[in-house]
Chains A and B, each alone.
Chain A
Amino acid sequence: MMQIDERLIDFVSKMRAAGLQVSLAESIDACEALKVAPLERMGLFREALRATLVKNELDYPVFDSVFEEYFLGVEAMLSAAGEEPDEGSGGSDSAVTPEELTDMLRDALARGNMDELSTLARMAAASIGQMEGGFGRGSRPMAFMAGSGYYMFRGMEMLKYGRLSSELLEMAAEGEIMRDLPPVLALEELRESIEFFRVALEREIKRRLALERGEDAVGKGRKPPVRPEEIEFMNASLRQVDDMRRILPALARRLAARIARRQSEGRRGRLDIRSTLRHSISSGGVPIDVKYRKRVPAKPELFILCDVSGSVRTFSTFTLQLVYSLHQQFKAVRSFAFIDRVDEVTELFKYCDVDEAIERVYRDGVLVDGDGHSDVGRALDLFEKEFSSELTPRSTVLILSDGRNNARDPRADALGRVARKARRVYWLDPEPVERWDTGDSIIGMYEEHCHAVQECRNLKQLADFVYRRA
Chain B
Amino acid sequence: MQKKRTGAPIEEIKAGMKAADYLCDDSIATALFLAGELNKPILAEGPAGVGKTDLAKAFSRFSALPLIRLQCYEGLDEAKALYEWNYKKQLLRIQADRSEGTSWQELEEDLFSEEFLLPRPLLKAIIGDGRVVLLVDEVDKADVEFEAFLLEVLSDFQVSIPELGTIQARQMPFVVLTSNRTRDLSEALRRRCLYLYIDFPDSARELEIIRIRVPGIAEDLARRVLAVVRYIRQMDLKKVPSISETLDWATAVKVLGRDVIDEDLIAGTLSLLVKEQKDLEKVQANLKSLARQALE
Given contacts A44-B10, A51-B30, A183-B293, contact A29 B183 (CB under 8 A): no
Interface flag for A50 (CB, 8 Å): yes
Mask of A28-53 contacts with B, CB within 8 angstroms, 1/0: 01001101111111011001101110
Interface residue from B6, B33, B38, B294 paired with A182 (Cβ < 8 Å): B294
Check A250–B227 contact: CB distance below 8 A: no
Verify A57–B45 contact, CB threshold 8 A: yes
Give complex CA distance A179, B196 in Å: 36
Smallest Cβ distance from B285 to chain A, in angstroms?
Answer: 17
Q: How far is the CA of A258 from the CA of B1 in the complex (A)?
A: 48
Does B197 sit at the interface, judged by CB under 8 A?
A: yes
- Among B191, B195, B296, max chain A CB count under 10 A is at B195
Our pick among B1, B33, B43, B74 for the contact of A55 (Cβ within 8 Å) is B43
Asked whether, in the complex, the Cβ of B27 is within 8 Å of the Cβ of A56, the reply is no
Cβ < 8 Å to A, chain B residues 239-294: 293-294
Q: A47–B143 contact, CB under 8 A?
A: no
Asked whether A33 and B223 contact (CB < 8 A) given A55-B191, A55-B195, A283-B91, the answer is no
B5 interfacial contact with A, CB 8 Å: yes
Query: Contacts A182-B294, A250-B181 given: A37-B195 contact, CB under 8 Å?
Result: no
Q: Which of B1, B5, B196 has the most CB of A within 10 A?
A: B5
Please tell me if A162 contacts chain B, counting CB pairs below 8 Å. Answer: no
Please determine whether B231 and A51 come into contact, CB atoms closer than 8 angstroms. Answer: no
Chain B residues, CB < 8 A from A13: none
B163 at the interface (CB under 8 A from A): no
Residues of A within 8 Å of B9, CB to CB, are 38
Instruction: Return chain B residues, CB-CB under 8 Å to A39.
Output: 4-5
Proximity bits, A364-407, B CB within 8 Å = 1, else 0: 00000000000000000000000000000000000000000000
Cβ contact of B227, chosen from A60, A185, A261, cutoff 8 A: A185
A264 at the interface (CB under 8 A from B): yes
Given A54-B195, A283-B87, A182 and B203 touching (CB < 8 A)?
no
Chain B residues, Cβ within 8 Å of A253: 182
Is B69 part of the contact surface with A, judged by Cβ < 8 Å?
no
User: In angstroms, how far is the closest chain A Cβ from the Cβ of B89?
Assistant: 10
Known: A33-B38, A181-B223, A283-B87. A44 touches B7 (CB 8 A): yes
User: Across the two chains, which residue of chain B brings its CB closest to A40?
Assistant: B7
Contact B227 A184 (CB under 8 A): yes
Closest Cβ–Cβ distance, residue B62 to chain A (whole Å): 18
Given A40-B6, A288-B87, residue A185 in contact with residue B30 (CB < 8 A)? no
Instruction: Using A43-B26, A283-B88, A283-B91 as known contacts, say yes or no to A254 and B182 having CB atoms under 8 A apart.
Output: yes
- For chain A, the bracket of interface size reads 35 or more
B238 nearest CB across to chain A (Å): 9
Q: Is the CB of B230 within 8 A of A44?
A: no
Does chain B have a CB within 8 A of A347? no
A-B interface contact total, Cβ < 8 Å: 121
Does B202 have its Cβ within 8 Å of any Cβ on chain A? yes
Per-residue interface assignment for chain A, residues 181 to 193, with 1 indicating a CB less than 8 Å from any chain B CB and 0 otherwise: 1111100110010
- CB neighbours (8 Å) of B227 from chain A are 181-185
Determine whether the beta carbon of A23 is less than 8 Å from that of B191. Answer: yes
The docked-state distance in angstroms from the alpha carbon of A184 to that of B31 is 32
**Per-position 1/0 for B1-38, Cβ under 8 A of A:** 11011111110000000000000001100110110011
Alpha-carbon gap, A26 to B194, bound state (A): 9
Among A26, A33, A55, A265, the one with the most B-chain Cβ atoms within 10 Å of its Cβ is: A55
A25: interface (CB < 8 Å): yes
User: Is the CB–CB distance between B27 and A182 below 8 Å?
Assistant: no
For residue B170, CB closer than 8 A to chain A, the reply is no
**Is A4 positioned at the interface, with any CB of B under 8 Å from its CB?**
yes
Contacting residue for B230 out of A32, A36, A184, CB 8 A: A184
CB-based contact B203/A185 at 8 Å = yes
- Number of contacting residues on B, CB 8 A? 52
Report chain B residues within 8 Å CB of A288.
87
Interchain CB contact under 8 A, B30 and A37? yes
Q: For residues 269 through 313 of chain A, which have their beta carbon under 8 Å from a beta carbon of chain B?
A: 282-284, 286, 288
Cα–Cα, bound, A462→B26 (Å): 37
A257 at the interface (CB under 8 A from B): yes
Judge whether B27 and A51 touch: CB under 8 Å: yes
State the CA gap A258–B203 with chains docked (Å): 35
Q: Indicate if the CB atoms of B34 and A57 lie closer than 8 Å.
A: no
Given the contacts A188-B203, A261-B143, A52 and B10 also touching, CB distance less than 8 Å: no
* A356 vs chain B, min Cβ distance (A): 12
B184 located at the interface, meaning its Cβ lies under 8 Å from any Cβ of chain A in the complex = yes
User: Which B residue sits closest to A60, measured CB to CB?
Assistant: B197
Q: Which A residues touch B30, using CB under 8 A? A: 37, 44, 47-48, 51
Q: Does B40 contact A (CB under 8 A)?
A: yes
- A170 CA to B31 CA, complexed, in Å: 40
B123 interface hit (Cβ, 8 Å): no
Report whether B196 and A51 are in contact in the complex, using a CB–CB cutoff of 8 Å: yes
Task: Out of A32, A43, A184, name the residue touching B38 (CB < 8 Å).
Answer: A32
How far apart are A403's CB and chain B's nearest CB, in angstroms?
32
B93 contacts partner chain A, Cβ-Cβ < 8 Å = no
- Please, which residues of chain B bring their CB within 8 A of the CB of A286? 91
Q: Which residues from chain B contact A54 at a C-beta distance below 8 Å?
A: 195
Structural contact, B224 and A25, CB atoms closer than 8 A: no
Distance between Cα atoms of A33 and B5 in the complex (Å):
13
For B202-225 the 0/1 string (1 means CB < 8 A from A) is: 110000000000000000000110
B residues in contact with A180, CB < 8 Å: 296
Task: For the complex, give the distance between the alpha carbons of A17 and B7 in Å.
Answer: 31
* Contact of A188 with B230 at beta-carbon distance under 8 Å, contacts A55-B190, A55-B191, A182-B293 already known: yes
Tell me, rounded to whole Å, the shortest Cβ–Cβ distance linking B254 to chain A: 18
A41 cross-chain contacts in B, Cβ below 8 A: 7
Which chain B residue lies CB-closest to A26?
B191
Q: List 24 A-B contacts (CB under 8 A).
A: A4-B1, A21-B187, A29-B38, A29-B194, A37-B33, A38-B5, A38-B6, A41-B7, A43-B26, A44-B7, A48-B30, A50-B27, A51-B31, A55-B190, A55-B193, A57-B45, A57-B46, A182-B224, A185-B203, A185-B226, A188-B203, A188-B230, A253-B182, A283-B87
Chain A residues with CB under 8 Å of chain B are 4, 21, 23, 25-26, 29, 32-33, 35-41, 43-44, 47-48, 50-52, 54-57, 60, 179-185, 188-189, 192, 250, 253-254, 257-258, 261, 264-265, 282-284, 286, 288
> Would you list the 4 A-B pairs with minimal beta carbon distance, nearest first?
A182-B227, A55-B190, A47-B30, A57-B197
Given contacts A4-B1, A37-B30, 9 further A-B contacts (CB under 8 A): A37-B37, A38-B8, A39-B5, A41-B7, A44-B26, A52-B34, A188-B202, A283-B87, A286-B91
